[in-house]
């Protein structure tokens, strides 16, 4: 009976994933057709089937809407999977690249790159974003592991909150002393998909693709880590190696995503929570679902931001914070929070 129920559950999950993929494809197409600038649907189609370089609408569709849609797909997948991985390693449903200071660490190092090294291109941002994500990850886990109990979920969450506050304060301090850097940084920090070109997509694609592959390949070890170090060792897992592998995936995903669009809040927190309600704790399903559902949320928020403030737009980082904040409050209040 139990085996039959498990088979039915796996069958439903196997059907649900491509359905979510179809929804994502539909949202992506809608993102190309809808924007703050009203362009007839037939003109959008012509931009791909009968491109005219002298037509400003064609250029806008191909140079603005298409790249931001593709970047949103990459960044959404990266943040969703990174959040699910961090929640497993920390054994804490509150773990998230934003809440635990990973995004803030990446942002601080990007500011250092701007002010100290004069970096002004994404190719440079990415490397500083990686360095910041790695330092923040090591700092949070190292502080959380102090003491006899080791890295408990509560201690990791508290050290993450402290690291986030510290990096934000340091970033503010640096920017207050350099107005030129502040002018350059403020457009990036809000978290935006607008103005992203195909160059951005091509530059971050290898890093995010590698991070996703590492994370998906670590699904079984994440299942063990989520149950605690002692049980993971009893199941034959090399806990240290599994944590390092997961950490590499998080650094690649968060570093590339944050460098490309700025800090995006709550996607890595809300989406794994929603996905876990569908899949349960098995990361062999949780990670693929998070990888598909997160871009749906990010693209949906981006489309709403383009429509509600025409002819201007609200940046996607603002919308995801508005959407994600109630989820975070529900988590803190203990509503429907399940262990990873």
The 10s digit of each residue's pLDDT in 281-311 is 899 999 999 999 999 999 999 999 998 877 8
212 contacts: CB under 8 Å, gap ≥ 6: 77, 78, 81, 249, 253, 291
Looking at residues 179-187, what average pLDDT do you find? 70
pLDDT digits (tens, 9 = 90+) for 240-288: 888 889 989 998 998 889 888 888 878 988 899 889 889 988 999 999 9
Averaged pLDDT, 311-325: 82
Alpha-helical (H) ranges within 177-311 are 179-189, 198-217, 219-225, 229-234, 239-261, 267-279, 283-308
Classify 82 as helix, strand or coil.
helix
pLDDT at 112 over 50: yes
Q: What is the domain partition of the chain in residue ranges?
A: 75-332
Q: pLDDT-derived band of residue 2, with 50, 70 and 90 as boundaries?
A: very low
Tell me the CATH class for 75-332: mainly alpha
* pLDDT value for 332: 58
Rounded Cα distance between 284 and 229, Å, is 19
Query: Is 70 exceeded by the pLDDT of residue 333?
Result: no
Q: How far apart are CA 36 and CA 41, in angstroms?
A: 14
Mean per-residue pLDDT over the chain, rounded: 85
pLDDT band at 325 (very low <50, low <70, confident <90, very high): confident
Residue 106 pLDDT level (bands cut at 50, 70, 90): confident
Mean pLDDT computed over 24-39: 93
Angle between the N-to-C axes of helices 2-33 and 283-308, in degrees from 0 to 180, rounded to the nearest 10: 30
Cα 44 to Cα 60, 185, 207, 306: the distances in Å are 9, 32, 31, 16
């Amino acid at each position: 009976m139990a085996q039959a129920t498990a088979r039915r559950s796996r069958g439903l999950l196997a059907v649900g994933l491509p359905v979510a993929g179809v929804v994502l494809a539909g949202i992506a197409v809608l993102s190309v057709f809808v924007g703050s600038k009203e362009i007839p649907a037939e003109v959008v189609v012509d931009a791909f089937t009968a491109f005219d370089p002298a037509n400003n609408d064609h250029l806008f569709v191909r140079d603005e809407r298409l790249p931001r849609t593709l970047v949103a797909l990459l960044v959404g997948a990266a943040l969703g999977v990174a959040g699910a991985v961090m929640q497993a390693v920390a054994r804490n449903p509150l773990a998230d690249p934003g809440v635990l200071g990973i995004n803030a660490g990446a942002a601080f190092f990007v500011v250092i790159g701007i002010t100290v090294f004069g970096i002004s291109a994404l190719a440079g941002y990415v490397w500083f974003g990686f360095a910041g994500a790695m330092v923040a990850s090591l700092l949070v886990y190292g502080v959380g592991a102090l003491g006899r109990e080791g890295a408990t979920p509560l201690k990791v969450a508290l050290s993450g909150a402290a690291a986030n506050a510290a990096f934000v304060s340091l970033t503010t301090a640096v920017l207050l002393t350099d107005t030129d850097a502040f002018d350059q940084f403020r457009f990036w920090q809000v978290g935006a998909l607008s103005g992203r070109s195909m160059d951005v997509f091509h530059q971050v694609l290898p890093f995010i693709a590698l991070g996703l592959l590492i994370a998906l390949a670590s699904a079984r070890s994440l299942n063990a880590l989520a149950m605690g170090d002692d049980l993971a060792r009893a199941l034959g897992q090399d806990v240290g190696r599994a944590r390092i592998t997961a950490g590499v995936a998080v650094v690649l995903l968060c570093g590339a995503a944050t460098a490309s669009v700025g800090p995006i809040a709550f996607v890595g927190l809300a989406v794994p929570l929603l996905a876990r309600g569908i899949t349960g704790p098995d990361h062999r399903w949780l990670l693929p679902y998070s990888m598909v559902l997160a871009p749906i949320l990010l693209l949906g928020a981006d489309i709403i931001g383009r429509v509600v403030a025409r002819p201007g737009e609200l940046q996607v980082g603002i919308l995801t914070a508005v959407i994600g904040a109630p989820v975070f409050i529900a988590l803190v209040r203990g509503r429907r929070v399940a262990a990873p």
